[in-house]
Amino acid sequence: MFTSLPPLSCGGIAGAAAIVVEESTSAAGQVLLLGGFDEQGVALSTVHLVDLATGTCTPQPALSYVRGNLSAARLPDGRIVCAGGYPAPTSSEVLGPPGGGASNAAWTWTQLPAMNIWRHNCCGCVMSNGCFAILGGSNYDGETSSCESLMVGEDAHWEPLHPLHHERSHLTCAAVARCILVVGEDPLSTEVYDEALNRWVIRLPCDLPGDSRGSMSSALM
């Protein structure tokens, strides 16, 4: 059952990425809101820690670039990686402790290698090998089926993944059991990527309802 929550103290934000914060002190949990667009449609670089019980937004270190309709995920070591979005469509960055700094030092954003293609309205998730995968999206040529992945480390670089069966933007995805599930926008079908085979192997026999269009998000239950 969905429950109404208080409005955000930082005002309305659209097209942001939301990352769950692992903690046990708040009444209803906390999330990080990264980037997005304000109520006037201006792209943001802000990062807010949001207390869901109160709607209180606490500013965090800002992104290096303004980004709306970006993709982001939490890496296995707790760092936050994000990529794409408008108007920074090929750049990527990671939030983590400064290199060589004390373990309790404030986390900062560090620039990562640029993606191979321009994309926003894409989706991203962390694969079983710890790589950040980014899938589909839009660019100046329209929607794309291309996918790529990044291992965040000393030799960080983007590697191509097998493309989706369909060109997709405004899509959503989730990684589970060494697979990635993707759905939306058009067509409203679901595809499954097998990490071991490095290809999209299945089109599930279940489509979203015909009126399920527009930007979506997802979470594992």
Residue 157 lies in a domain: yes
Residue 214 lies in a domain: no
Q: What does the pLDDT read at residue 204?
A: 63
Domain encompassing residue 176: 17-204
Q: What does the pLDDT read at residue 202?
A: 73
Q: What does the pLDDT read at residue 219?
A: 58
Residue 7 lies in a domain: no
Residue 143 lies in a domain: yes
Residues of the chain with pLDDT under 70: 99-104, 185-188, 204-221
Residue 211 lies in a domain: no
Digit-coded pLDDT (tens) for 4-56: 989 999 999 999 999 999 888 888 899 999 999 999 999 999 999 999 999 99
H helices within the chain, ranges in order? none
- Which residue, 221, 217, 220, 219, is CA-closest to 71? 217
Task: Quote the CA–CA distance of 185 and 81 in Å, as a whole number.
Answer: 24
Residue 187 lies in a domain: yes
Residue 84 lies in a domain: yes
Q: What does the pLDDT read at residue 17?
A: 95
Residue 9 lies in a domain: no
Q: What does the pLDDT read at residue 74?
A: 95
Bridge partners, 143 (sequence order): 138
The encoded tokens of residue 166 equal 């369909």
Domain count for the chain? 1
Q: Alpha-carbon torsion 20, 24, 29, 30, what sign?
A: negative
Q: What does the pLDDT read at residue 103?
A: 58
Task: Quote the CA–CA distance of 111 and 128 in Å, as a whole number.
Answer: 23
The encoded tokens of residue 197 equal 């085979």
The enclosing domain of 95 has a CATH number of 2.120.10.80
